[in-house]
Amino acid sequence: MCGSSGRIRTYDLAVNSRPSIAKLLNKFNVTQIAELSNLSKSYISQVKSGKRPPSKKLIQLLDKLQPEARKTDNCQKAIGLFIKSRREGTSPNTVRDYRNTLARSLKYMGLTPTTTEINRFMQSLGFTLGGKYGYYKCLRAFYNWLYSPKSAYSFRPENNPITWVEAPKRPVLILPALTVEQVQLLIDRAECLRDKAIISLFVDSGLRMSELTNIKISDIHWDNHTIHVIEKGNK
């Protein structure tokens, strides 16, 4: 907003209302606020940047959104504590899946859903049975932790809503396998002794690709013909 001198006036949102309007604005993106308030995105952006004052209509909307913002904060805090509780060695991919799955799920269910609400959410997922089972495993781990003394929350184990949620049935997948002749052909066609050893070890040991590629010279014990490997879960 320009004054008579032509300079842009900025507004300190932190002092305008309860709690800080700036904090509430940052909980939701511009599109969400614009859709809920029927105000333009450009106006919301200017308010967030302090270039325009918040209107009465916007303040009233943010007041209504305060419980939702608190719910989001509580869920994010619980997700962070849950991830910290996981044992050392949990892979970065697993941690990422925990964060993404729980952020999406708790947005609808919160920390204290009913068994019916969890079932309804699971049914709403447009995934394969395998994908739904992945969500179920994540939710089961989270709520079992949340409703246990380990979480330091006051929820009682007997009230755990995941207890009566039936796990989605996973399809039985029969993965294709190479024949002995095909494996031998791969070894014969390998360009060097190192590649032949890698193929042989990969086939005979059942190691994951990441476990195989992380093997160092110091991990190989030539005297007793063994290899020390750190598996998933830091085992």
pLDDT at 232: 67
pLDDT band, very low/low/confident/very high, at 6 (cuts 50, 70, 90):
very low
Residue 23 vs residue 119, higher pLDDT? 119
| Whole-number pLDDT of residue 155 | 92
The pLDDT value given to residue 212: 83
**What integer is the mean pLDDT of 41-48?**
85
Q: What is the mean pLDDT of residues 18-42?
A: 74
Q: What average pLDDT does this structure show over 135-146?
A: 95
Give CA 120 to chain center in angstroms.
20
In angstroms, what is the C-alpha Rg of the chain?
27
Query: pLDDT digits over 202-226, tens only?
Result: 888 878 888 888 888 888 888 888 8
Check residue 52 and give its pLDDT: 84
| pLDDT, position 57 | 83
CA 199 to CA 189: how far, in whole Å? 11
Please check the confidence at residue 101 and state whether its pLDDT lies above 50. yes
- pLDDT band for position 158 (cuts 50, 70, 90): very high
Domain ranges of the chain: 13-66, 86-164, 180-227
What's the pTM value of the predicted model, to 2 decimals? 0.56
